[in-house]
């Protein structure tokens, strides 16, 4: 069943490959679609939740274009491990149910150096409540005419099945939407479910990206066709985690010239992608310009709120300290300090002001390597400030 050889028992729909479009590297790429992903079906579990089971690497689909629709064991293991790691880090993500080898070999150029080799083929079954993407709506809006009705129908489907609290918000006394103190205008989201939906997608996306920044995860291919309307980490291609802290890090070799999708750009790219999605809803006349702008405003506010909280907790601070965190990230960038191991070792710092300056950096010596006097002084000063703040 999980190699695609037999049908899914009890599935709500027949197997299908999804058609969508997308902005790739900032430019509209037209029709794309599931080139190597096939949805086996959708199941309703004992909690009444809808879950979609999707095979990646099972072969050609109508959207494979000139590719073979296959996957190799190497990349499939990476997706399996990383998606499960992200889930257990508390970061919204598609998950991996199982992984099977095909017994066949697939030719791939692992290092993109013009030397393709045969590798074992594999199929990963990934699971999410939905694999709907921003691009699922964009493709129909781009065609115009009757396809605009599909944008509305797809939005209704998504809200009904995955955002039922919005579908029923007029009946719920406990559900309220406020603009917050930082908002320049009030938007009544209870009068338009599509506006409320757009705002929730913007906030889910902002929270997702904030979580990525917190653990040093770099997606690598943040095209709009790789953005989930549920706010999930989706499509584990050339992803990577920061080792040495480098804000310009990108795991995607095709992104190297402009580094559009590098680590430090992810928050802005998330906003840019939200602007494309909300523009699609606006083109379909589901939201107006004021509601569009408010969704984007909420993205910015939600991102900063979540990011501040994540970094405050990461440092064990009682409250957010912009200057302290800014100086830390600058120091880490200058000295290429390991992002994850630094925070692990930081937990060994004793909040004792009587510790001698010459001893302050001892707990961090495994990550503060080959530094001269000036850099040691910079780190000593930061640690002293940190001890005072904790």
| Residues labelled catalytic | 225
Element (H, E) at 99: strand 95-108
Q: Copy the structure tokens of residue 95.
A: 């998950």
Q: What angle do CA 317, 319, 321 make, to 5 degrees?
A: 85
The answer to whether the CB of 302 falls within 8 A of the CB of 206 is yes
**Radius of gyration (C-alpha) of the chain in whole angstroms:** 23
Longest CA span, the chain: 73
What φ, ψ does residue 93 adopt, rounded to 5°?
-160, 155
Tokens 């010596």 sit on residue: 365
Q: How far is CA 54 from the centre of its chain?
A: 18
Alpha helices in the chain (DSSP H): 73-88, 134-143, 147-162, 164-167, 193-215, 266-283, 289-315, 322-335, 339-346, 373-389
What φ, ψ does residue 212 adopt, rounded to 5°?
-60, -45
């Amino acid at each position: 069943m999980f190699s695609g050889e037999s049908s899914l028992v009890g599935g709500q729909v027949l197997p299908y490959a999804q058609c969508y479009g997308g902005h790739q590297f900032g430019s509209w790429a037209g029709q794309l679609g599931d080139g190597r992903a096939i949805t086996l079906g959708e199941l309703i579990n004992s909690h009444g939740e809808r879950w979609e089971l999707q095979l990646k690497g099972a072969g050609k689909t109508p959207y494979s274009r000139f590719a073979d629709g296959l996957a190799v064991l190497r990349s499939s293991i990476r997706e399996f491990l990383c998606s499960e790691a992200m889930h257990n880090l508390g970061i919204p993500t598609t998950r991996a149910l199982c992984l099977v080898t095909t017994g066949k070999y697939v030719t791939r150029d692992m290092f993109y150096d013009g030397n393709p080799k045969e590798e074992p083929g594999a199929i990963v079954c990934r699971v999410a409540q939905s694999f709907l993407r921003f691009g699922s709506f964009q493709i129909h809006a781009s065609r115009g005419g009757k396809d605009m009705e599909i944008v509305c129908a797809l939005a209704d489907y998504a809200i009904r099945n995955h955002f039922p609290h919005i579908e029923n918000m007029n009946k719920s006394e406990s559900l309220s939407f406020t603009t917050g103190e930082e908002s320049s205008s009030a938007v009544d989201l209870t009068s338009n479910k599509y506006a409320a939906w757009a705002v929730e997608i913007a906030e889910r996306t902002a929270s997702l990206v904030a979580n990525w920044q917190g653990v040093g995860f770099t997606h690598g291919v943040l095209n709009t066709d790789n953005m989930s309307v549920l706010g999930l980490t989706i499509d584990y291609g050339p992803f990577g985690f920061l080792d040495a802290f480098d804000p310009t890090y990108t795991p995607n070799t095709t992104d190297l010239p402009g580094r559009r999708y590098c680590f430090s750009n992810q928050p802005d790219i998330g906003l840019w992608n939200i602007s494309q999605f909300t523009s699609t809803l606006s083109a379909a006349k589901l939201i107006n310009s004021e509601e569009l702008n408010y969704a984007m405003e909420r993205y910015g506010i939600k991102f900063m709120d979540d990011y501040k909280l994540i970094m405050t907790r990461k440092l064990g601070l009682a409250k957010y300290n912009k200057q302290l965190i800014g100086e830390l990230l600058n120091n880490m960038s200058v000295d290429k300090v390991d992002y994850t191991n630094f925070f692990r070792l930081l937990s060994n710092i004793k909040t004792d002001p009587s510790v001698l300056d010459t001893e302050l950096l001892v707990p961090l010596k495994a990550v503060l390597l080959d530094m001269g006097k000036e850099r040691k002084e910079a780190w000593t000063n930061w640690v002293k400030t940190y001890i005072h703040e904790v």
